[in-house]
């Protein structure tokens, strides 16, 4: 006598494993994005600004205020309602530009950077 798993049980098991894999992948992605968000920072010094980022390694880029050409803000409608946006700092060397995403009150960072640039 030969016994086999029913098709319904096989399909249920297949779907369950796929859901578990999807949930784990989503969880790992969420944790990675959270740590990327927590570790990103812009530090305004007297003569330069430093952009720190990275999850597994700590990376930083330093840009002197004299090399900053413009500071622009990109806000969606939702960003305007909630109060967040993206700040883009363009430098003399276009490849050295910095995009700092999902920052609260981006106007404050732009104002602070422009104040430091004018000194």
Alpha carbons 98 and 110: distance in angstroms, whole number: 13
Alpha carbons 18 and 39: distance in angstroms, whole number: 32
Alpha carbons 56 and 36: distance in angstroms, whole number: 9
Average pLDDT over residues 44-51: 90
What pLDDT score was predicted for residue 105?
92
Q: Per-domain residue ranges for the chain?
A: 7-118
Class of domain 7-118: mainly beta
Average pLDDT over residues 85-90: 92
pTM passes above 0.85: no
Question: What pLDDT band is residue 84 in, cutting at 50, 70 and 90?
Answer: very high
What pLDDT score was predicted for residue 14?
87
**Nearby residues of 78 by Cβ (< 8 Å), 6 or more positions away:** none
User: How far does Cα 69 stand from its chain's mean position?
Assistant: 23
- Asked if 117 and 45 count as a contact pair (C-beta separation under 8 A), the reply is no
75: nearest Cα among 114, 107, 36, 42:
107
- Asked if 55 and 29 count as a contact pair (C-beta separation under 8 A), the reply is no
Average pLDDT over residues 63-76: 91
DSSP helix, strand, coil percent of the chain (3-state; round to 5): 50, 30, 20
């Amino acid at each position: 006598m030969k016994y086999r798993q029913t098709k319904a049980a096989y399909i249920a098991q297949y779907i369950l494993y796929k859901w578990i894999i999807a949930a784990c992948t989503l969880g790992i992605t969420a944790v990675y994005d959270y740590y990327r968000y927590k570790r990103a920072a812009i530090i305004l010094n007297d003569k330069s600004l430093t952009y720190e980022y990275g999850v597994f390694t700590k990376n930083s880029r330093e840009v002197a205020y004299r090399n900053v050409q413009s500071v622009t803000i990109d806000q969606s409608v939702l960003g305007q309602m909630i109060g967040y946006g993206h700040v883009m700092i363009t430098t003399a060397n276009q490849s050295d530009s910095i995009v700092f995403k999902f920052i609260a009150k981006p106007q404050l960072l732009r104002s602070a950077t422009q104040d430091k640039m004018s000194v």
